[in-house]
Amino acid sequence: MQKIIKDDRSYVWHPYASASDKNPIYPVKKAKGTYIYLETGEKLIDGMSSWWCVINGYNHPRLNKAIKNQISKFSHVMFGGFTHKPAVELAKKINEITPASLQKVFFSDSGSVSVEVAMKFAVQYWHSQSLIKKKKFLTVKNGYHGDTMGTMSISDPVNGMHKMFEKSLLKQFYVSSPESIEDYKRDKSRSLKEMETKLIDKHAEIAAVVIEPILQGAGGMRIYHPDYLSQLKKLCKKYNVLLILDEIATGFGRTGKLFGFKHAKIVPDILCLGKSLTGGYMSLAATVVSKKIAKSISNKEPGIFMHGPTYMANPLACSVAIENINLLFSYKWEDKIKNIEKILKIGLKKISKNNAIKEYRVIGAIGILEMKDKVNVSSIQKKFVEHGIWLRPFSNLIYLMPPYIISQKDLKFLLNQLENVINLEY
């Protein structure tokens, strides 16, 4: 075990970390259901779904079988000039669960790339309409859409992680983020008025508005009112810009609806999916575009879309994604999410009495503690492991996104141990 850690320190660069990072690192031996087992013998309840993707738990027999069945046939084949059953079936499945106006599915490797693809689709669509000046994007502050160059340009430039790259990025348009639900109920005019003012002024240059529906994820875990999305859709239509919804984090039931935009009963022009798509088994994402966009791009020179990841529509990933979606619909996932939401509200309300906590927020299978000060991740994570739970805070946020299959007993244990750790740390 010590050799693993030593070699890791020598050769591996971890996410959002220094190359000489000295924070604790925990070698994983195996994972099953909602549990992660460490080489050192600890058994941890996963409260993160491995960055929000393992919705049906680890090492699920149905998902394992889907991978094994496909790998016995072929694990990969280029998607240029070829097609295969898993890709076709998955595209059809996505069509079945998304609005009828969305049709064509473009597969890629990760959520960040799916948003990049969406941005390229938007620009090329307006080019096909002979509106070539519409090539910029409008978004809101405190958003996060990925770490690639295009997505960095539409992620929060001040409070986000990409400030040092600011002068290397394309300049986009920003307005204030949506208010909290309570603030929106009191006065919904500020953020929407700012959005409309920017659209009035710059709509001739704007290809699309890009936003995370209902929940702003890694930019601050902010929950906002569904009516904001409804009004935003109207503004996009009024000022002739597309609406791109980034459902990487919110898709496949996480907020209590199958997709975040269903809270507002709207339909995007372009939809980005990822994370939970394969249940945490393989890296796969999808960008779904409307029939109108697909037809316009295809009927205008050059008539093709210039993007093609090497591992696009990987058969293993597509196979497990199909089974993961089928598995989700095989049980009453909505009831499970409602139950998780109820337990999270009770538990976090109790925990939030600690004076170090500013407030708590819950939506669906997402629970958030906003601390008054930045969290010492190294210190608190060590205590989490000692107490048998796995959470990964960032900035001043401690949040929970457990697998949907988590038992009430394990979820309550997770919350109880979280309370114990917070009381020790603060």
- Is 275 among the catalytic positions? yes
Q: What is the CATH number of domain 74-330?
A: 3.40.640.10
* pLDDT tens digits, 364-399: 999 999 999 999 999 999 999 999 999 999 999 999
| Domain locations along the chain | 2-59+332-425, 74-330
Options 109, 246, 269, 410, the catalytic residue: 246
pLDDT of residue 159: 61
The pair of structure tokens assigned to 120 is 């390229």
Q: Would you tell me how many other CB atoms lie within 10 Å of the CB of residue 38?
A: 16
For residues 426 and 415, give the distance between their C-alpha atoms in angstroms, rounded to a whole number: 16
Q: Would you tell me how many other CB atoms lie within 10 Å of the CB of residue 111?
A: 29
- Report how far apart, in Å, the C-alpha atoms of 266 and of each of 203, 228, 248, 383 are: 21, 11, 17, 43
The pair of structure tokens assigned to 7 is 């070699």
Residue appearing with tokens 């240029």: 80
* Three-state SS letters, 8-56: HHHHCCCCCCCCCCCCCCCCEEEEEECEEEECCCCEEEECCHHHHCCCC
pLDDT of residue 1: 76
The pair of structure tokens assigned to 328 is 């989700």
For residues 118 and 169, give the distance between their C-alpha atoms in angstroms, rounded to a whole number: 17
- Is 404 among the catalytic positions? no
- Is 16 among the catalytic positions? yes
Q: Are 253 and 328 in contact, with CB atoms under 8 Å apart? A: yes
Length of the chain: 426
Integer-rounded Cα Rg, in Å, for the chain is: 22
pTM: 0.96
Options 16, 201, 331, 342, the catalytic residue: 16
Q: Is the dihedral of CA 223, 358, 275, 285 positive or negative?
A: positive
| DSSP string for 347-401 | HHHHHTTSTTEEEEEEETTEEEEEESS---HHHHHHHHHHTTEE---BTTEEEE-
2-59+332-425 maps to CATH 3.90.1150.10: yes
pLDDT of residue 125: 97
Strands 43-46 and 389-390: parallel
Below-70 pLDDT ranges, the chain: 158-162
- Is 426 among the catalytic positions? no
The pair of structure tokens assigned to 349 is 């309300």
Q: Are 241 and 209 in contact, with CB atoms under 8 Å apart? A: yes
- Residue 137 neighbours by CB under 8 Å, 6+ apart: 119, 122, 153, 154, 172, 173, 206, 207, 208, 209, 210
Options 58, 125, 144, 184, the catalytic residue: 144
Options 275, 336, 399, 404, the catalytic residue: 275
pLDDT of residue 134: 98
